Amino acid sequence: MVYHENDSGVVNDNVKVCVRARGLLGSNEVGRNTCLTALPSQNAIMINAKPDPKLFAFDYVADEHTTQEQLFDSVARPLVDSFIGGYNACIFAYGQTGSGKSYTIMGGGDVNQSDQNGLIPRTFQHLFTTLNNNQSSSINNSYEDDSNDNNNNEEDNRLQSYKCTLSFLEIYNEQIMDLFVDTSPNLSIREDIKKGIYVEGLREIEITDTQTAMELLEIGIANRHVAETAMNSNSSRSHSVLTINLESTVCIKQTKDGLTKNKYSRLSLIDLAGSERQKSTEAAGTRLKEAGSINKSLSCLGNVIRSLVDLANGKPRHVQYRDSKLTFLLKRAKNIRNMAIVNEEASGSDCRSTVATVRDENTPFGSVALTFVGARGIGVAATPKDGAGTTLSEVAL
């Protein structure tokens, strides 16, 4: 795993993990036992497994009382600020179907209900508020007296101008589709020495304010593949990747004319389709094919993360990025700051699935969750709180 050294010379871990536990919802869940208990004050979760419950710590833990605003401020805002400062960043939500991933990333209900807005709408609002404030501050200070020549060589980094573009795609049955187009062809991923990893033919639309960005988001959401299953009435049948590209021009010297430099940064917000068990979702036909594609790509993601962990621990590994469109596209996330949000249901019916799948690294959910946990040695995920030396095979998210 890659580390980044900040200006102070301190090495920061590039991947952090948040667990968000969804409470019991609906009359059919009232009175059911819970398989996990979130403990936000300790940034830990308690797995109510028999015979012995287990306690694990994460970078951040949210429960059903954590508001959308609180989650954004704690988890996403630091990465958005880092993105504005010129660093690349990635936030993705992962979990079983129906665990609340889309609610976390997109929000729920009417987009005008600001308290229900997810990470993406809040990112738009914070991004443009910050950029416009920074630019206004630069304009107000642009004619200040620069008679102090001692400061001429110091960095100023005042924002002079910026340009934001937005793209939105989905990976459906291993096909990449542009969500800004009603009927999108299957797009191809390319790798270029100068451009890096990119999607050929994907539209990038300039955005200048929150309202424009939200209108585009609504278009994309309407074009995404969703369907009803036995576990989720509005199940995402694809992975979605929303990417904001920022080009900013900043003043780097405190002189009247000023010397400038351009910064380029990228922020991706990813809503991964939920892993599924056919028995639970009762999928058949098209739904079964979709589930197979989802599970395969998530399994590939787990394999890639595991290989990266091994490499970081000095073990020789070939990372199979090209095994799926998802992992090939996320290859560009290996050198940037990442936040993984693992969404979990607390209902008793999912406890066996939660524990069993993580114990079995061959299942899609377990493959990804297990590698998050296994990477903790390099600052990624869960640590046993009891100091009992819990092995990876005993860990449950």
Say which of 16, 59, 103, 138 is annotated catalytic.
Answer: 103
Angstrom distance (rounded) from CA 42 to CA 182: 46
Q: Within 10 A of 50 (CB to CB), how many other CB atoms are there?
A: 7
Q: Residue 102 annotated as binding?
A: yes
Place of tokens 């004050």: 41
101 is catalytic: yes
From 271, 293, 353, 374, the catalytic residue: 271
Q: Annotation-wise, does 101 bind a ligand?
A: yes
Supply the DSSP string of 329-390, one letter for each residue.
HGGGGGGSEEEEEEEEE-BGGGHHHHHHHHH-TTSHHHHHHHHHHHGGGGT-S-EESS-S--
Q: Which is catalytic among the residues 16, 59, 102, 321? A: 102
Query: In this structure, what DSSP letter does residue 321 have?
Result: G
CA distance 104 to 345: 13
State yes or no: is 98 an active-site residue.
Answer: yes
Own/partner pairs, 184-192, CB within 8 angstroms, 24+ separation: 184/223, 189/325, 189/328, 189/329
- Residue 271 designated active-site: yes
Residue 102 annotated among the catalytic residues of the structure: yes
Catalytic residue among 16, 82, 100, 324: 100
Instruction: Using alpha carbons, select from 69, 105, 363, 48 the residue that is nearest to residue 240.
Output: 105
Per annotation, catalytic residue among 101, 235, 268, 347: 101
- Residue 74 annotated in ligand binding: no
> CA-to-CA distance for 9 and 264, rounded, in angstroms?
22
Calpha distance 294→257 (Å, rounded): 54
100 is in an annotated binding site: yes
Task: Give the active site residue among 59, 98, 178, 240.
Answer: 98
In the residue annotation, 41 being an active-site residue is answered as: no
CA distance 160 to 139: 8
**Catalytically active residues, by annotation:** 98, 100-103, 271, 274
Residue numbers belonging to the annotated binding site: 95-102
Residue numbers belonging to the annotated binding site for ATP: 95-102
